[in-house]
Amino acid sequence: MNQKVQSVLNLFEEINKVPRKSKNEEKIAKWLVNWAEKNGFKAHTDEVMNVLIEVPATPGYENKPVLVFQGHMDMVCEKTPESKHDFSKDPIKHVFHGDWLKADGTTLGADNGIALALAMVIATDKSVIHPPLELLFTIDEETGLTGANYLKPGWLKGKVLLNLDSEDEGVFTVGCAGGRDTKIEFKPEWKPYCADRVVMELKVSGLSGGHSGVDIRLQRGNANQILARVLDTVNQSAPVKIGDINGGSAHNAIPRDAVCVIGIKKDDVEKAEKIVKDLAEKIKQEFSKTDPNLAVALTAKKGFEGLMMTSGDSAKFIDMMMSMPHGVAAMSNDIEGLVETSSNFATIKNNEGVVTILSSQRSSVMSRLDWMTRKVEKSAGVAGAVAKSGNGYPSWEPNMKSRLLAKCVAIYEKMYNVKPVVEVIHAGLECGIIGSKNEGMDMISYGPTIKNPHSPDEKMFVPSLDKIWDFTVELLKSYCQE
């Protein structure tokens, strides 16, 4: 392993000691500012805690164009059911499996902590020749690209931006989908638990999950969708009352687990158990390749004495779940193999009697993003729920004549004797927003190979980081030699 890369991994481990869950970036923002000041760099923060660090050029290259390194400081905090990890205080534990770096039962946070570490080591390594640099680290990318949306036009001096938030080494991303979230609130009538009902827990677990953008094409199971399917099937023959329901963890993660507390009449319990058992076998077979560890279980729930939805409202909510869109809605007609439009039935949360569904829609065609969002909103009407959609973020239109792209392709091909892949992705990147706020910005996105982001199976291929380091060093040098 390149010693420089070891320095990047060491700094990444330090970053992973600082809590940085989306919407809780206070500590990591302060840590970054302190790091900048210790290294003699000017650091700026804005009203939402985005951090901008100015790094002087290598002596002799002060008049070269300013380059911007950009990444986001927050991470998706997912863990295995058995993990006791507390993301508000516990360090992420690094575990090596050969050439792969993982975490111990949690997301690794290489998305996007490795971007911070890479840019910071480059900034402090005296052997790296570079023009003036700006390190832009944004907040809350994972739950709405909040930091990028709050950036003020003119805050950046640089007109060339290197986004380090891609996850396949040897691939340059030059465009991405736009996105929008929809929040649905359902306020059912709740009544005290009746003793004539047997309380049971229906649980869907063990799914593969993954990123709701880049992994949506894999057609993995959605725990919320499967929970709805089982509830609906049971409800047809053994009417249920919903006592509690929760599923999924984040708007941009395909749900891995979902659970529902239900009340069933005593005479219907045996029937319900058989329905669930038979349907579970069919569903497991359907997803045997994509979700081999999928489990569906109906078990007795002891100690429940809370409220339950009325039978009517339980049925309405199940109907709404069943009508929620999920998965690929359209493929691109311009780029082979690219998902154009999709939706993710992301989370279900019961909070003090108000049950909330969150859906995340994506499309590289903004008119179709409007259409898919409207479909989700209409699903709320099935149950008389209230839907509210956010403004979302724009797609990043690719510029295949980009000077930066041409330079990156030429350097990569010269270094590795192979042409890199140039692609547009079905996921949200901050480049679209940053470009809309900074006219004339030339942008590209790349990074080391990261598998299974947004899940506890997240892992980074360390040798790919070696190549990213060497490539980036050559790219910076090329701007100094112009």
Task: Summarize pLDDT for 80-109 with one digit per residue, the tens.
Answer: 989 999 999 999 999 999 999 999 999 999
Q: Which of 134, 141, 165, 313 is catalytic?
A: 141
Q: Which of 74, 165, 215, 466 is catalytic?
A: 74
The mean pLDDT value for 261-290 works out to: 97
Say which residues have a Cβ less than 8 Å from residue 126's Cβ, sequence separation at least 6. Answer: none
* Count of CA atoms in the C-beta half-sphere (13 A) of 84: 0
Q: Does residue 323 surpass a pLDDT of 90?
A: yes
What is residue 378's predicted lDDT score, i.e. its pLDDT? 97
Asked if 210 and 253 count as a contact pair (C-beta separation under 8 A), the reply is yes
Each residue of 172-205: b (16+ CB within 10 Å) or e? bbbbbbbbbbbbbebebebeebeeebbbbbbbbe
**Bridge partners of residue 129, in order along the sequence:** none
**379: confidence class by pLDDT, cuts 50, 70, 90:** very high
Catalytic annotation present for 74: yes
Q: What is the dihedral sign for C-alpha 1, 4, 160, 58? A: negative
- Rounded CA-CA distance 152/138 in Å is 12
Q: Does residue 335 surpass a pLDDT of 90?
A: no
Q: How many residues does the chain have?
A: 482
* Count of CA atoms in the C-beta half-sphere (13 A) of 21: 14
Q: Does residue 62 surpass a pLDDT of 80?
A: yes
In order of start, what are the domains of the chain with their CATH numbers?
3-177+395-480 (3.40.630.10), 180-389 (3.30.70.360)
Q: Does residue 305 surpass a pLDDT of 90?
A: no
Q: How many CB atoms lie within 10 A of CB 3?
A: 6
Q: What is the dihedral sign for C-alpha 444, 116, 19, 223? A: positive
What is residue 214's predicted lDDT score, i.e. its pLDDT? 87
**76: confidence class by pLDDT, cuts 50, 70, 90:** very high
The mean pLDDT value for 415-429 works out to: 93
Task: Summarize pLDDT for 440-465 with one digit per residue, the tens.
Answer: 999 999 999 999 988 899 999 999 99
Q: Where do the DSSP E strands lie in 222-368?
A: 240-247, 258-265, 295-300, 307-309, 327-331, 339-351, 354-363
- Rounded CA-CA distance 255/210 in Å is 8
What is residue 96's predicted lDDT score, i.e. its pLDDT? 97
Q: With both helix axes pointing from N to C terminus, report the angle between 3-15 and 110-124 in degrees, rounded to the nearest 10.
A: 120
**397: confidence class by pLDDT, cuts 50, 70, 90:** confident
Cα 411 to Cα 129, 175, 210, distances in angstroms: 16, 20, 32
Q: Does residue 1 surpass a pLDDT of 80?
A: no
Q: How many CB atoms lie within 10 A of CB 47?
A: 7
Task: Give the closest residue to 393 by CA, choosing from 140, 91, 97, 177.
Answer: 177
Give the DSSP letter of residue 396.
B
Task: Give the closest residue to 225 by CA, choosing from 255, 249, 181, 202.
Answer: 255
Catalytic annotation present for 423: no
What is residue 261's predicted lDDT score, i.e. its pLDDT? 97
Q: What number of H helices and E strands is found in the chain? A: 11, 23
Q: What percent of the chain has pLDDT over 70?
A: 100
Task: Summarize pLDDT for 251-269 with one digit per residue, the tens.
Answer: 889 999 999 999 999 999 9
Task: Give the closest residue to 91 by CA, choosing from 163, 140, 31.
Answer: 31
What DSSP string runs through 114-125? HHHHHHHHHHH-
Mean pLDDT of the chain: 95
User: Which comes out higher in pLDDT, residue 427 or 150?
Assistant: 150
Task: Summarize pLDDT for 209-264 with one digit per residue, the tens.
Answer: 998 998 999 999 999 999 999 999 999 999 999 999 999 998 889 999 999 999 99
Residue type, 271: K
pTM of the entire structure?
0.76
